[in-house]
Amino acid sequence: MATAAAASASEAEAESKAGPQAEGEEDEAKAARTRRKVLSRAVAAATYKTMGPGWDQQEEGVSESDGDEEYAMASSAESSPGEYEWEYDEEEEKNQLEIERLEEQLSINVYDYNCHVDLIRLLRLEGELAKVRTARQKMSEIFPLTEELWLEWLQDEVSMALDGLDRERVYDLFERAVQDYICPNIWLEYGQYSVGGIGQKGGLEKVRSVFERALSSVGLHMTKGLAIWEAYREFESAIVEAARPIAGFLSPFDREQTFDSQLEKVHSLFRRQLAIPLYDMEATFAEYEEWSEDPIPESVIQSYNKALQQLEKYKPYEEALLQAEAPRLAEYQAYIDFEMKVGDPARIQLIFERALVENCLVPDLWTRYSQYLDRQLKVKDLVLSVHSRAVRNCPWTVALWSRYLLAMERHGVDHRVISVTFEKALSAGFIQATDYVEIWQAYLDYLRRRVDFKQDSSKELEELRAAFARALEYLKQEVDERFNESGDPSCLIMQNWARIEARLCNNMQKARELWDSIMTKGNAKYANMWLEYYNLERAHGDTQHCRKALHRAVQCTSDYPEHVCEVLLTMERTEGTLEDWDIAVQKTETRLARVNEQRLKAAEKEAALVQQEEEKAEQRKRARAEKKALRKKKKIRGADKHEADEDDEKEWGDDEEEQPSKRRRVENSVPPATGKVGLDLEEDTGPVDVEPPSKQKARAAAPKRDMPKVLHDSSKDGVTVFVSNLPYSLGAPEAALRPLFEACGDVVEIRPIFSNRGDFRGYCYVEFKEEAAALRALELDRKSVEGRPMFVSPCVDKSKHPDFKVFRYSTALEKHKLFVSGLPFSCTKEELEEICKAHGTVKDIRLVTNRAGKPKGLAYVEYENESQASQAVLKMDGMTIKENVIKVAISNPPQRRVPEKPEARKAPGGPLVPRQMYGARGKGRTQLSLLPRALQLPSAAGTQAENGPAPPPAGVTPAAEAPKMSNADFAKLLLRK
């Protein structure tokens, strides 16, 4: 029988035609077609063998499925011993060592997904069937398995199934497999395997039950649902063909009960399928017309035409999915929005399931799906199943665990199950300390709702109090030590506990103890904390404790003491005695006087600092004016000397020729600033193109040309981009850049900027016809031009928009992105990607370079999700690459320091940071002082103040006011030994 099935499979492969592509996979469609042909032949063979008056009541174990025999043959062929097994001893030993290493790694971190996959692969390769089954079981308890992992597991279990008990275990395994994700191929395998047990008791009902559930799960799938419908129809058609020879020997009544009823089942399947919008509906309708002996009813035709109209509405979304690349989240989101507007619950559930197959690690998608089920369908089994799968896929997301606990409570799940789920949440490994506070609050809220506070004491109340105590201890011992910060700085959990004790348990003594503890944790300086305690005392305590709390608040509060004093006086005015009023007035006046005195001193100190800064600024201004006047005087004196020395005219001419060369070098080193800029805040200024001295002299000797000025029309900023950091050696910038930018759209003009000598200055303007082309051109930012990264930024006039900034990359915390430092300069992007992809799916890698395109030893690695990034940090931090020890951390760039405006420096209360008088580039480490030591002030005079140079002491003449010396005096000082 297995031989016949194998022959049938080969015939089906030869005769099958290309069916509808299941989301663009032609091979998968062909394989599904082959399985359906094998299925129909297997059903026919099994039905012929078992057909009879009581054919569905036969004892178990009468027949074996073709699928079992095929698996058995494959298994025996694979397990046949080789002739040269000794050649593999070394490889087996290596595999065993790797298996031991993986098992040890999992004993340390059981949530290492890739480690589970590698262990299962090696154990299967070594033929350790029992260990493979155990490893798969452990992994499936922690993570949902993909369709490929389930199919591999099912294939192994089917090949080892020998009797009815084994078959039941395989059935259970199939049931677990279809729960993780929506998997049409697994449903097909499930149906095919169940056909093999058709000869057992209840076998026919089992097959039909599996196919009906498969239709409920994936029958509406527009691209893959067709395979399930056809497989089910082939099965029922095979039973019809098997019953046809026997029907002629039966009485008319028995014939109607068997053959005609079975024929009606096939008709029903055709009609149900034609009422659903699926791909290749026309072929199904043509097949029905050919198969049916009677004309197709008008109602069926109307349902078919309606489904065709619906298909046209869905096609744009399906085609968008076919054309996009995985994970296609944006396309699925648009599809979900469309289905939500239509409002069909079955189709909404299906599109969510389809989206989660490729985006199972997106917490927001799980949140949206579970929220829809909680508010709309409210089916217990379905809702809890989705919540369970959500936390298994994204265990690091506390919001999913909180919603899961609420759903379990909403549907009346047993308390022990909810408690176990909460314990799993605590061990999930959240990323932030506040996440643990949130999950504890959700669980404590659940426990509070279980308590009947009408009773003085109950088991539930004691459990609630024990949970509060455990929560505080857990946050102190586990969370604070792990994150080096308090997850609950405002003591929210302790506040809730105090409110419950005061309002629901009438236990103000315990509430006061809790508030005393809250205040000792650094909250006594905040007025709002004291007022919260005061309100609790007002509602459930007594006046004496209210007065005591407010008196303490007056003494301790440092942020808003006036508000606390006002509350105290208001209470004494309405409830206190004269003595209480006098005490309150005295305390509040004393406290406010002390606060005002402190504020006055702080204001005076701040004013003094502002005045000091203004005086320093004025000194710097005078010093600059004196230097400017001195340079002007020297320039005039030099011109007079030049006119007097006519004999040295040629020598002075050579000097004049040297000066433009120096200016040219400055132009090449620092591109001139203009009103149109593109800011780059990540790369430093690196080495630039500098010509050799001989070439610079030749260029300096070239005649000066008056280049036409390039004027820019600010009204065209929307269609223009500013291009900078181009090589100065670019001969024909317009010809070199035009092919690059024409790929973005029609280019109106490229305006390169030249110096007066006709040299390219490294930047230009590119004007397009359309604004969309200018936006596309921004994507060319950092593209290499002659080995140098080109900067492309929007064209914005900084004189009109001084605060304009362009951030190329995010500067916030990105949990799915890593910052790698200490890389060797020779490390390429491909080499780093090869190292990183061993720990997860790498979406992008960016090596940080300077303006000249030279590597800086830094990189940003973006993973698919947060969990993979966390695993990569643990495994890669401290790794050695080409003798360099790298450091790896979650990307969290520090806040950038924005230069202060002049008016901000003079404003009262603003930060007072003195300017340094070292020029635009700062004081270099090799900069020498040309002042003779004899003229330098003693070191004591150069002491620094906290925020800048200290002012000269009284009576000391500043260096700028020293008596002037002649050239002869300077010569004597320099020659003195």
Higher pLDDT: 472 or 48? It is 472
- pLDDT at residue 58 in the model: 35
Environment class of residue 111 by beta-carbon count within 10 Å: exposed (0-12), middle (13-18) or buried (19+)? middle
Query: With contact defined as beta carbons under 8 Å apart, do 570 and 541 qualify?
Result: no
Q: Is 830 exposed, middle or buried (0-12, 13-18, 19+ CB in 10 A)?
A: exposed
**Polymer length of the chain:** 977
Structure confidence by residue, pLDDT tens digits, 316-359? 999 999 999 988 999 999 999 999 999 899 999 999 999 999 99
pLDDT of the residue at 514: 95
CA angle 21, 27, 29 (to 5 degrees): 45
DSSP symbols for 354-366: HHHHH-TT-HHHH
Does residue 97 surpass a pLDDT of 50? Answer: yes
Place of tokens 């969510």: 352
Retrieve residue 125's tokens: 């390769």
Q: What's the longest Cα–Cα distance across the chain? A: 140
Provide the CB-side half-sphere exposure for 551 (13 A, CA): 15
Q: What was the pLDDT predicted at 90?
A: 79
Q: Which of 404-408, 441-445, 928-932, 957-961 has the lowest mean pLDDT?
A: 957-961
Task: Please name the fold of domain 717-794.
Answer: Alpha-Beta Plaits (3.30.70)
- Least confident interval from 597-611, 652-666, 893-907: 652-666
940-957: buried (b, 16+ CB within 10 Å) or exposed (e) per residue? eeeeeeeeeeeeeeeeee
Note the pLDDT of residue 639: 63
Residue 803: C-alpha distances to residues 795, 799, 800, 901 (Å): 14, 9, 9, 10
Residue 618 and residue 610 in contact, taking contact as beta carbons nearer than 8 Å: no
- H helices of 109-222, in order, are 113-126, 129-142, 147-160, 164-180, 184-195, 203-218
Q: Which two tokens stand for residue 609?
A: 């600092």
Please check the confidence at residue 44 and state whether its pLDDT lies above 90.
no
- Contact between 749 and 700 under an 8 Å Cβ cutoff? The reply is no
Question: What is the CB neighbour count within 10 angstroms for residue 198?
Answer: 25
pLDDT at 564: 93
CB 846: neighbour CB atoms within 10 A?
16
Predicted pLDDT of residue 485: 84
Per-residue confidence at 707, pLDDT binned at 50, 70, 90? low
Weakest-pLDDT range from 81-85, 427-431, 781-785: 81-85
Average per-residue pLDDT in the chain?
78
Can you tell me the distance from the alpha carbon of 581 to that of 348, in angstroms, rounded to the nearest whole number? 67
Query: Over the stretch 245-295, which tens digit does the pLDDT of each residue have?
Result: 655 544 555 555 566 778 888 999 999 999 999 999 999 999 999 988 889
Report d(CA 474, CA 458) in Å as an integer: 24
pLDDT value for 431: 87
Helix or strand run (H / E) with residue 860? strand 855-863
Rounded to whole angstroms, how far apart are CA atoms 778 and 766? Answer: 11
The structure tokens 């051109």 sit at: 777
Phi, psi at 405, each rounded to 5°: -60, -40
Which range, of 707-711, 774-778, 899-903, 955-959, averages the lowest pLDDT?
955-959
pLDDT(497) > 90 = yes
* Cα 558 to Cα 570: distance, rounded to the nearest angstrom: 20
Res 33: pLDDT: 52
Six token digits for residue 930: 């040309």
The confidence band for 828, taking pLDDT boundaries of 50, 70 and 90, is confident
- Dist CA 542 CA 947 (whole Å): 53
Query: Between these two residues, 12 and 279, which has the higher pLDDT value?
Result: 279
Per-residue model confidence as pLDDT tens digits over 175-230: 999 988 888 999 999 998 999 888 888 888 999 999 999 999 999 999 999 999 99
What average pLDDT does range 677-681 have in this prediction? 39
Q: Does the structure show a pLDDT above 90 at 898?
A: no
192 within 8 A of 38, measured Cβ to Cβ: yes
932 CB contacts (<8 Å, ≥6 apart)?
A: 970, 973, 974
Higher pLDDT, 799 or 42: 799
- List 821's β-bridge partners, or say none: 887
CATH class of 817-890: alpha beta
Asked whether residue 940 carries a pLDDT value surpassing 60, the answer given is: no
Q: Is the dihedral of CA 387, 390, 392, 398 positive or negative?
A: negative
Token pair, residue 678, equals: 């593109």
Token pair belonging to 109: 């971190």
- What tokens appear for 235 in the block? 């099965």
Top-confidence residue, 967 or 212: 212
Least confident of 12-16, 586-590, 969-973: 12-16
In tens, the pLDDT along 539-551 reads: 999 999 999 999 9
Q: In CATH terms, are 717-794 and 817-890 the same topology? A: yes
Which pLDDT band holds residue 663 (cuts at 50, 70, 90)? very low
Judge whether 789 and 849 are in contact, CB under 8 Å. yes
Which among 107, 145, 813 has a CA at the least distance from the CA of 431? 813
Taking the C-alpha atoms of residue 143 and residue 136, their distance in angstroms, rounded to an integer, is: 10
- Residue 977, C-beta contacts closer than 8 angstroms, at least 6 positions apart: none
pLDDT of residue 692: 54
Report pLDDT for 340: 94
In the chain, domain spans: 90-143, 144-219, 717-794, 817-890
Q: Are 747 and 734 in contact (CB under 8 A)?
A: no
Can you give the pLDDT at residue 71? 40
Query: What's the confidence (pLDDT) of residue 89?
Result: 72
Of 28-32, 215-219, 770-774, 786-790, the poorest mean pLDDT is in: 28-32
The pLDDT of residue 675: 42
pLDDT at 450 over 70: yes
pLDDT for the residue 248: 53
CA distances in angstroms from 715 to 712, 768, 769, 795, 879, listed in the order given: 9, 13, 13, 11, 53
Alpha carbons 134 and 116: distance in angstroms, whole number: 11
| 712 CB-side CA count, 13 A | 22
> Is 487 exposed, middle or buried, given 0-12, 13-18 or 19+ CB atoms closer than 10 A?
buried
Q: Work out the pLDDT band at 66, boundaries 50, 70, 90.
A: very low
Distance CA 309, CA 758 (A): 67
Which long-range contacts (C-beta less than 8 Å, at least 24 apart) are formed by 133-138?
133/157, 138/106, 138/110
- Please tell me the least confidently modeled range out of 172-181, 575-584, 702-711: 702-711
Spatial distance between the Cα atoms of 851 and 681, rounded to a whole number of angstroms: 11
Give the percent of the chain with pLDDT over 70.
71
What is the predicted pLDDT for the residue at 544? 93
The whole-number average pLDDT for the span 582-606 is 92
Mean local confidence (pLDDT), 706-727:
77
Which H or E element spans position 297?
Answer: none
Place of tokens 């035609």: 17
> Could you write out the DSSP letters of every residue in 715-761?
GGGGGEEEEE---TT-SSHHHHHHHHHHTTS-EEEEEEEE-TTS-EE
Whether residue 295 is preceded by a cis peptide bond, meaning omega within 30 degrees of 0, is no
CA dist 384 → 107, 141, 427, 515 (Å):
30, 16, 20, 38
Residue 666 pLDDT > 50:
no
Question: What is the amino acid identity at position 476?
Answer: K
pLDDT at 787 > cutoff 50 = yes
**Contacts by 341-350 with C-beta closer than 8 Å and gap 24+?**
345/376, 345/377, 346/220, 347/220, 348/372, 349/373, 349/377, 349/382, 350/182, 350/218, 350/220, 350/221
Phi, psi (5° rounding) for residue 956?
-100, 130
Dist CA 410 CA 709 (whole Å): 75
pLDDT of residue 596: 92
* Top-confidence residue, 196 or 5: 196
Of 191, 93, 141, 149, residue with least CA distance to 420:
141
State the Cα–Cα distance between residues 567 and 194, nearest whole angstrom.
Answer: 77
- State yes or no: pLDDT of 100 exceeds 70: yes
Rounded to whole angstroms, the Cα distance separating 356 from 663 reads: 62
Number of H helices, E strands in the chain: 38, 13
Sequence-separated (6 or more) residues with CB below 8 Å from residue 539? 502, 503
Distance CA 846, CA 227 (A): 43
